[in-house]
Structure 1
Amino acid sequence: MTVGIVLLVHTALNRAEQVARHWTNAGCPVVIHVDKNVSGPVYRAFEKSLSDNRMVLFSKRHRCEWGTWGIVAASQSASEMMLAEFADVRHVYLASGSCLPLRPVQELIDYLAARPRTDFIESATTADVPWTVGGLDHERFTLRFPFSWKNSRFLFDRYVELQRRLGIKRKIPAGLVPHMGSQWWCLTRQTLSAILQDPERTHYDRYFKRVWIPDESYYQTLARLYSSNIESRSLTLSKFDFQGKPHIFYDDHLQLLRRSDCFVARKIWPHANRLYQAFLSDTSGSMKKTEPNPGKIDRIFAKAVDRRTQGRPGLYMQSRFPNYGWENGITSNPYSMFQGFTELFENFEDWLSKTTGSRVHGHIFAPERVEFADGQTLINGALCDSAKHRDYAPEAFLTSLIWNTRGERQCFQFGPEDNQKVNELIARDPNAQISVITGAWAVPLFKSNRNFADLRKEAARLQQIESAHLDVLRAQYAKARIRIWSMAEFVEAPMEPIQTIIDEIAPASQRRLTEVPTMVDLTGFGQFLQNLKNQGMHPYLMGDFPVEPGQINMQKPARKPYLVR
């Protein structure tokens, strides 16, 4: 007794010939079904190439299309020929032309010989399968599907909608409980012949011809009527991605396929010469004679699916640019944005870099140029200081900067004069640490020697921009670590907020600051704000900043002496 192989072929006929000879060399007869979509001359040439092998037969051809009845009809015709022509066949193994035996064929023969009455077919009810894609599980058995999902998608979808709207439901044949599973099965002669010779076969076939993807349910359902011992699993290694498309194995998957201990794998790339050479010439049995266990590599496939669907945090590419809110991490590393600090403190960037060891940039979104740290014009990832290039995609510029400098904390300055298009992205980013001193933009205006009318107009513009930015930072969707102080509040006690910021940036230091950077001279700043108010512009973002007395050099009263006993 031996194993018969049914091959469904539609492309890469040279590889199908190679695999068919491999099966027959081990004593397994092969019946090949060639898709009717293959042209006549190509089919005849393929048939002629195997005419010297008496253990290879060709069955009646059917037109096969994914999700339609043709694939089931093809397997029926080939299986009937197998059972009729090869009486010594105990099990029939369904495979495709892109399937590749991974272990010596004799191991498969011995394995099935030890289980003469066991059918290996994945068979589970619709409530128990997690792999249905497209929203059709039980409905595939209760609706009609006369149109091709691939070639007539519009008609397919509209007809499904129409049936749902009209409440049309097909009656499942009496005695059948719909089951689903992989189309690649290995059935005993007894079970397969019972399915093909069933008196009700015409009735069953008529029903399944309008089921969606019947090759995943026809044998899986009918085997439950006749099999005395079903192993609900496939002996073929077949992996699918999140879209329900099969994974393709290439040359660099050689060791992965060996680790699976499976007998057969699909889909193999036709040009994977290394795989075909390694497995079709391996008669010594380099794989261990163990139970097939595709679960050993499931973890690798799960990681591959996660990498494909989610990518790496903070990495964007043309082939997978995420929809809004679908990012697997907006940026790759924590970073800090400071607003108002360089205006309020002298040499703040140098002080922060020395204190935290971070790379501290200036205003990287400044209108004139990107102010990289240390006056650089080019930084990691070939990011240049051109404002024009940066403003083409400012959000991408920021994510690229963080990605290309992984492992090093990035800090940069921001203000109302900078490009504001990144505000929402930064506010949504959990990696962002945002520290804002509101109203500090008024200090450079105070220090400038410009006409007061111009200062008033500019102050109103900057305050409007910063107010809009604060609305973004306080929005419900904001996930960054955000701290906001008014200028008056911060100037009153700067040490504590700066210490908090430093502790977050460089937690390993764990040391208390003994001094803060030198604050700019704010003498007369309160009067400047009062002048703005007097001119009709209300600078409310600075907080309650006191107006200094008119006589600044007024002599302070002498302190009364006191005695300490």
Structure 2
Amino acid sequence: MSVGIIMLVHTALDRAEQVARHWASHGCPVVIHADKLVPQDEYQKFAASLSNLQNVRVFRKFSCEWGTWGLVAASQAASEIALSEFPDIGHVYLTSGACLPLRPVEELVDYLAGHADVDFIESASICDVPWTIGGLDTERFSLFFPFSWKQQRYLFDRSVDVQRLLRIKRKVPGNLTPHLGSQWWCLTRNTMTKVLADPNRTKYDRYFSKVWIPDESYFQTLSRLHSRHIESRSLTLAKFDFQGKPHVFYDDHLPLLHRSDCFVARKIWPYADKLYQEFLNRPTSQLRRAEPIPQKIDRIFDKAVERRTRGRPGLLMQSRFPKKGWENNITNSEYSVFEGFDQVIEDFPAWLASVTKARVHGHLFACDRVEFDDGQTVFDGCLSNQPGLRDYAPKDFLLNLVWNTQGEHQCFQFGPQDKQKISQTLVQDANARISVITGAWAIALSKSTEPAEIIRKRAASFQRIEKAHIELLRSSKTKAKVKIWSLAEFLEAPVEHLQPIVKTISKLPHSPLTEAPKLTDLSGFGTFLQQLKNMGMPPYLIGDFPIAEDTKDGVRTYRKSRVMR
């Protein structure tokens, strides 16, 4: 079996020809759709340049403007040609003219042969992801979008305003549940055939033709109807900045692209000669058989976005003019807040108290009680452990707790399962030292025996709460001292991350930690995360935790107690 490559091209046709020849020379049939807006003479020259290749087809039929139905229609037409003219195709891989293979083609063919029934397509429920930028998430499926967002922006915006005013709400056809994801997918022949031959295709096409950015939802939704097995991830490295614009890769990104282990990357600068020379001339002897994990470099992109949006500490610039706060601190002394540590480290409060001699509480803002140190029902200053009294004025509760224990450093746990009203106070308090391990809430869920759907909904809820909390911590108005790790990042070097925390709050003579505290058993955790993804709930806050830890001979196996249906 071979892999059929679909290419959507509109610019840099010389680079598209170069990549197409690379695919074709390694036995992969290629079907290329050129944008209808490409000048006729350029298109004819491009088609003629590839006419000598028996396994390449070039055609031009649709206008493929960003965010419009033409992109889906072109993908459909190209897939139909690929499946009808090349019967040995096992998977159909969608790429663009700005895509570049990062690994030998033989690796991709072998990998897909080992996953013959697997569809690699990012497909997440619209209720569980915050990817959309611009204010249109669920509305992209409930309103009509007859105008181009780029070319007819005024009409686009006014159309949305009128539909909101008239409370127009489109009905999703059939039993479809809208899903979103990257438009760069790799589907099996079986799934693609069923999508194209679906008896309701005319109805589905009519509906999605008026959806906003349908190339991010059409195949992502229909594959849920027809796929035997979805891996909710893309084999293509495609990164976007905080404004939703794609990152462009240049020659100096070469080491970064090597680290990703992805099979394909976009968007490549057409003049990145070094990248094209490196990746299109790699010998087959360099086969690595590595699992493609684009999340491996997410941390670098996250830091780049943070640098771009927040600037460097102490650096003043015209786009980030400082504004001083009106209050002289909220509390009178420093205290520490730990988020996720009690999930990662066994009996964390007792361990932290033993190495620092600080007062370490449990979850002071738990929903059902106030978890004072040693289970006390009444704390210093007659503070009660009754949640009703605390919740009447949570800010005052915190002020009193810190005031009543002057001279003693207070520490407590916090997380998405707690009452969140105190978050704003914590962020605005310069005395707060907040340490966060994002995604740690998933550890307890991975050990839960509750039904899979309940776990998924709870995970989605915790993730939404934590994301909002992290955004608050990273806001420009934050005065607290904040340190944030993803779960995967923290687990790489727990002692290294814990050492400065212990040193800051410890009352004992400083001595470096020589070994990490006892960590929670994470057996099967990687499999649990992939199952969440496969159900449409990607745990993106956890970081690049290995997704294939429970494997045998390269094939992922699922323990029955963890299988989610």
TM-score norm. by structure 2 comes to 0.57
Question: What secondary structure, in the 3-state scheme, does the structure 2 residue paired with 1:160 have?
Answer: helix
Distance 1:107 1:17 in 2: 22
2:273 is matched with 273
2:515 is matched with none
Q: Residue type of the partner of 1:45?
A: K
Q: Structure 2: which 5+ residue stretches go unaligned?
A: 326-427, 431-476, 480-565
Distance 2:321 2:84 in 1: 56
Cα deviation 1:453-496 (Å, max 9, x = unaligned): xxxxxxxxxxxxxxxxxxxxxxxx9x9xxxxxxxxxxxxxxxxx
Q: Residue type of the partner of 1:20?
A: A
1:104 is matched with 104
Q: Residue type of the partner of 1:31?
A: V
Distance 1:326 1:270, change over 3 A: farther
1:86 is matched with 86
CA deviation after TM superposition for structure 1 residue 301, in Å: 0.4
Distance 1:232 1:309 in 2: 29
Distance 2:26 2:81 in 1: 20
- Structure 1 segment 191-270 matched on structure 2, within 5 A: 191-270=191-270
Question: What secondary structure, in the 3-state scheme, does the structure 1 residue paired with 2:95 have?
Answer: strand
CA deviation after TM superposition for structure 1 residue 59, in Å: 3.0
Q: Residue type of the partner of 1:216?
A: E
**2:320 maps to 1:322:** yes
Q: Residue type of the partner of 2:204?
A: Y
Q: Residue type of the partner of 2:130?
A: P
Question: What secondary structure, in the 3-state scheme, does the structure 1 residue paired with 2:284 have?
Answer: coil
1:21 is matched with 21
1:42 is matched with 42
Cα deviation 1:187-209 (Å, max 9, x = unaligned): 00110011111111110000000
Distance 2:97 2:229 in 1: 28
Q: Residue type of the partner of 2:11?
A: T
Question: What secondary structure, in the 3-state scheme, does the structure 2 residue paired with 1:24 have?
Answer: helix
CA deviation after TM superposition for structure 1 residue 296, in Å: 1.1
1:308 is matched with 308
CA deviation after TM superposition for structure 1 residue 323, in Å: 5.7
Question: What secondary structure, in the 3-state scheme, does the structure 2 residue paired with 1:32 have?
Answer: strand
Distance 2:63 2:168 in 1: 29
Distance 1:326 1:56 in 2: 63
Question: What secondary structure, in the 3-state scheme, does the structure 2 residue paired with 1:127 have?
Answer: coil
**2:74 maps to 1:74:** yes
Distance 2:125 2:59 in 1: 31
Cα deviation 1:132-160 (Å, max 9, x = unaligned): 11111111000000111111111111111
Distance 2:12 2:260 in 1: 25
Question: What secondary structure, in the 3-state scheme, does the structure 2 residue paired with 1:92 have?
Answer: strand
Q: Residue type of the partner of 2:34?
A: V
Distance 2:54 2:226 in 1: 32
Could you tell me whether the CA contact under 8 Å between 2:122 and 2:231 is conserved in 1?
yes
Question: What secondary structure, in the 3-state scheme, does the structure 1 residue paired with 2:92 have?
Answer: strand
Distance 2:324 2:111 in 1: 47
CA deviation after TM superposition for structure 1 residue 284, in Å: 3.4
1:190 is matched with 190
Distance 2:218 2:254 in 1: 33
Distance 2:324 2:69 in 1: 38
Question: What secondary structure, in the 3-state scheme, does the structure 1 residue paired with 2:134 have?
Answer: coil
Distance 1:100 1:43 in 2: 21
Distance 1:168 1:87, change over 3 A: same
Cα deviation 1:340-387 (Å, max 9, x = unaligned): xxxxxxxxxxxxxxxxxxxxxxxxxxxxxxxxxxxxxxxxxxxxxxxx
The structure with the larger Rg is 1
CA deviation after TM superposition for structure 1 residue 246, in Å: 0.6
TM-score norm. by structure 1 comes to 0.57
Q: Residue type of the partner of 2:320?
A: P
Distance 2:73 2:284 in 1: 37
Could you tell me whether the CA contact under 8 Å between 1:60 and 1:78 is conserved in 2?
no
Distance 2:134 2:324 in 1: 20
Cα deviation 1:171-224 (Å, max 9, x = unaligned): 110210000000000000110011111111110000000000000000000001
Could you tell me whether the CA contact under 8 Å between 1:103 and 1:285 is conserved in 2?
no
Question: What secondary structure, in the 3-state scheme, does the structure 2 residue paired with 1:268 have?
Answer: coil
- Structure 1 segment 384-533 matched on structure 2, within 5 A: none
Q: Residue type of the partner of 2:239?
A: K
Could you tell me whether the CA contact under 8 Å between 1:261 and 1:287 is conserved in 2?
no
Could you tell me whether the CA contact under 8 Å between 1:72 and 1:214 is conserved in 2?
yes
Distance 1:326 1:287 in 2: 56
Q: Residue type of the partner of 2:310?
A: Q
Q: Residue type of the partner of 1:38?
A: V
Distance 1:60 1:37 in 2: 9
Question: What secondary structure, in the 3-state scheme, does the structure 1 residue paired with 2:191 have?
Answer: helix
Q: Which has the higher contact order (CA 8 A, sep 6+)?
A: 2
Distance 1:242 1:165 in 2: 30
Distance 2:266 2:29 in 1: 20
CA deviation after TM superposition for structure 1 residue 268, in Å: 0.5
Could you tell me whether the CA contact under 8 Å between 1:104 and 1:285 is conserved in 2?
no
Question: What secondary structure, in the 3-state scheme, does the structure 2 residue paired with 1:128 have?
Answer: coil
2:30 is matched with 30
Report percent identity of matched pairs: 65
